[in-house]
Structure 1
Amino acid sequence: TVLTSLVVCSFLVLSHCIECDSLVASIIMRGPYYFVIVSHEDCPIFELAQPGAPKSSDQKFVAHASLDMVDENMWNTPSTYLKVVDRFNDWLVSAFITPAGLRFLLLHEEANEERIRVFFQEVYEAYVRLSMNPFFVHGAKINSGFFQKKVQQLARKYFG
């Protein structure tokens, strides 16, 4: 599919599909976000906060506190994407469970389930590629510059 895009404002992008001659509107999520991958032992192995956002230990606390809700909800759905599993003040916590049992958590303020689902799937694909490296240690902190860059690109693509 070939698309030409026009940014209408800071959160709306209109795309024109040349093949089917139709317009598609996309809404980009705005606002702070915090993404973390949590191991089986409930330890964060990868973290990404929105660039320029103030660092906050509250984000880590909220993510860790929501793990109980993630573990509870993962048995109630056959899907790997659990949607919003917890809320804390202005934060929504969305979760994705990998087949190996890693938990991907995203703290965000705007609900946009489709964008979050696709973001999780693409991050998971990047994680699978990373984990195929014979020198990769499962459960260890992820220090790969390639993986960091890829997740940052995906976050910019889906969250602005």
Structure 2
Amino acid sequence: MSDSRKESLYLAIIGSKDNAIYSLEFGTSRQGGEGVSKFTPDMKQLCPFIVHSSLDIVDEVQWTTPTMYLKVIDKFYNYYVSAFVTAGNIKFLLLHENRAEDSIRQFFQELYDLYTKTLISPFYSVNQTITSKNFDHRVRNLAKKYL
């Protein structure tokens, strides 16, 4: 991939009841810093649908492997969906173009640590939407670091 090409990613955290807990659309750090998404307007509307359509595949694959990181589980045209499932059945899904799996795995692992810290807060309960600006800022920093 050339450095002049703009790449966008879509992250969704899905609760154990298949409810959206958190979502973020962002650009890669290769774009020159701002991390602004370059999805077309049509694609922006499709991102949540693509990610949620992959949930059935996650439900099948998660029982076939002992690891939490499920790698690429689905493909939609030139986009891939990578998944990570926590011990509490919370799903992290990343819609991306072809990316290095190791960087996605590291991103998911640190996101899991961040989510766990949020979960132990007395002001948060499982499957509740995450609205914390601090959480959002930290997720963006993780994305800059790994993606």
TM-score (norm 2): 0.85
Match of 1:52 in 2: 37
Name the CA distance, whole Å, in 1 between partners of 2:72 and 2:3.
25
Gaps (5+ residues) in structure 1? 1-8, 12-29
TM-score, with structure 1 as normaliser: 0.79
Identify the residue that residue 29 of structure 2 maps to in structure 1: none
The alignment partner of 1:140 has SS state of coil
1:133 equivalent in alignment to 2:111: no
Across the two proteins, how many residue pairs are aligned to each other?
133
In structure 2, C-alpha distance between the alignment counterparts of 1:10 and 1:72, rounded to whole Å: 36
SS at match of 2:129: coil
Moved beyond 3 Å, runs of 4+ = none
Look up the SS of the partner of 2:64 in the other structure. coil
How far apart, CA to CA, are the structure 2 residues paired with 1:131 and 1:95? 20
Unaligned runs of 5+ in 2: 27-35
**Percent identity between the two aligned chains:** 39
| Greater percentage in strand | 1
Please state how far the C-alpha of 1:10 moved relative to its aligned partner. Answer: 4.4
The answer to whether residue 8 in structure 2 is matched with residue 41 in structure 1 is: no
The aligned counterpart of 1:20 is: none
The code of the aligned residue for 2:9 comes to Y
Larger radius of gyration: 1
Structure-2 separation of matches of 1:58 and 1:90: 13
Q: Relative contact order (alpha carbons < 8 A, sep ≥ 6): 1 or 2 greater?
A: 2
Which residue of 38, 53, 61 corresponds with 2:49?
61
User: 2:111 is matched by which residue type in structure 1?
Assistant: V
Q: Distance in 1 between matches of 2:119 and 2:58?
A: 23
On the 8 A contact 2:50/2:76 being kept in 1, the answer is yes
Q: Structure 1 or 2: larger helix share?
A: 2
Q: Write out aligned runs for 1:93-108 (5 A).
A: 93-108=81-96
1:78 to 1:112, Cα distance in 2 relative to 1, 3 A: same
One-letter identity of the residue aligned with 1:77: T
Question: For residues 22-48 of structure 1, what are the alpha-carbon distances to aligned partners after superposition, in whole Å with 9 as ceiling and x for unaligned?
Answer: xxxxxxxx7211000001111111001
